[in-house]
Amino acid sequence: MPNPTASMLVIGDEILSGRTRDANMHHLAQELTKVGINLCEVRIVSDDRDAIVSALNALRAAHDTVITSGGIGPTHDDITADCVAAAFDVPIDVREDARALLQAHYDSRGMEFNDARQRMARIPEGARLIENPVSIAPGFSIGNVHVMAGVPSVFQAMVASVIPTLTGGAPILSQTLRVDRGEGDIAGPLGQIAADFPDLSIGSYPFQHNGAYGSNIVVRGSDGARVDHAMARLVDLFPA
């Protein structure tokens, strides 16, 4: 059986403007690989209601799991929760369990639980909360969509909470062979190897070192014996 698939929706003008570098996709890809879930698609959209709803509906129809990052804070441009509610056509309002978590958090710090902070307790009807041990404000899951914060430390904590609840597959194994030849030299035989191992992902990633060209050939797959077999063929083709 093929591994389950996942996609990611990154939300925020700050990513598209170049002001903020996204680190969450890299972390998510690593964590999903460990449990045998293939991250197949990543989209980045602005803080625009129609763009978020459209992308979310497309991704949740195409993949087993969708994980979003960004847009669930206290400011006016944090509209992800409303967009998710719109995509699922359900109401959204302040939910008591989320409100209580935030109230206790701000009370313990002597901070006002004002209207802006209460926005973070607005949860679409029928959703399940995602724990946030870093800053308390929860994410949430609804259907096959898991909505998480954009701050990397919070995102990573939420991923850790959600990953054990997902149905995984065979963990993806990876081996790399460094070849001190340019891609133009290795493309032909490498293409034949890829054709002989259609169940594996075989990629070439060029580099330049001290003026010389080379390639890192990466073989990925869930069957360790097949990965080993492909690597042995590559070593025979491209000896050190």
In this structure, are 144 and 191 located in the same domain?
A: no
In this structure, are 160 and 231 located in the same domain?
A: no
**Residue 210 pLDDT class (50, 70, 90 cuts):** confident
In this structure, are 46 and 22 located in the same domain?
A: yes
Query: Each residue of 116-167: pLDDT tens digit?
Result: 999 999 999 999 999 999 999 999 999 999 999 999 999 999 999 999 999 9
The CA R_g of the chain, rounded to the nearest whole Å, is 22
In this structure, are 55 and 97 located in the same domain?
A: yes
In this structure, are 45 and 149 located in the same domain?
A: yes
pLDDT of 211 > 90? The answer is no
**Residue 240 pLDDT class (50, 70, 90 cuts):** confident
Per-residue pLDDT at 22: 93
- Assign residue 210 a region (left: φ > 0; alpha: ψ between -120 and 50; beta: otherwise): left
What is the arithmetic mean of pLDDT over 94-115? 96
In this structure, are 33 and 119 located in the same domain?
A: yes
Q: What is the CATH number of the domain that holds 219?
A: 3.30.70
pLDDT of 212 > 90? The answer is no
Q: What is the CATH number of the domain that holds 86?
A: 3.40.980.10
Q: In what order do the strands lie in the sheet with 201-209?
A: 173-179, 212-221, 201-209
- Contact between 151 and 157 under an 8 Å Cβ cutoff? The reply is no
Q: Does the predicted TM-score (pTM) go above 0.85? A: yes
What is the arithmetic mean of pLDDT over 13-22? 94
CB hemisphere CA count around 70 (13 angstroms): 23
In this structure, are 34 and 140 located in the same domain?
A: yes
Position 204: which residue type?
Answer: S
Q: Using the 3D structure, point to which of 165, 200, 228 is the last residue of a domain.
A: 165
Query: Each residue of 51-95: pLDDT tens digit?
Result: 999 999 999 999 999 999 999 999 999 999 999 999 999 999 999
In this structure, are 117 and 155 located in the same domain?
A: yes
3-state helix, strand, coil in the chain (%, to 5): 40, 25, 30
Per-residue pLDDT at 215: 95
Per-residue pLDDT at 69: 98
pLDDT of 97 > 90? The answer is yes
Tokens found for residue 190 = 């490498």
State what percent of residues in the chain have pLDDT above 70: 100
**Residue 2 pLDDT class (50, 70, 90 cuts):** confident
Q: Using the 3D structure, point to which of 147, 165, 183 is the last residue of a domain.
A: 165
Number of domains in the chain: 2
Q: Tell me what the pLDDT averaged over the chain comes to.
A: 95
Per-residue pLDDT at 57: 98
Tokens found for residue 222 = 């869930």
Pairing relation of β-strands 65-69 and 145-148?
Answer: parallel
222 backbone dihedrals φ, ψ, rounded to 5°: -95, -10
In this structure, are 100 and 201 located in the same domain?
A: no
- Contact between 5 and 40 under an 8 Å Cβ cutoff? The reply is yes
Distance (Å, rounded) from C-alpha 194 to C-alpha 219?
9
Per-residue DSSP letter, 239: -
Position 210: which residue type?
Answer: N
Distance (Å, rounded) from C-alpha 168 to C-alpha 30?
13
What is the arithmetic mean of pLDDT over 176-201? 94
In this structure, are 154 and 52 located in the same domain?
A: yes
In this structure, are 43 and 116 located in the same domain?
A: yes
Q: Using the 3D structure, point to which of 108, 132, 165 is the last residue of a domain.
A: 165
* Chain centroid, CA 16 distance in Å: 17
Distance (Å, rounded) from C-alpha 61 to C-alpha 35?
22
**Residue 231 pLDDT class (50, 70, 90 cuts):** very high
Per-residue pLDDT at 1: 75
In this structure, are 182 and 159 located in the same domain?
A: no
Q: What is the domain range of residue 158?
A: 5-165
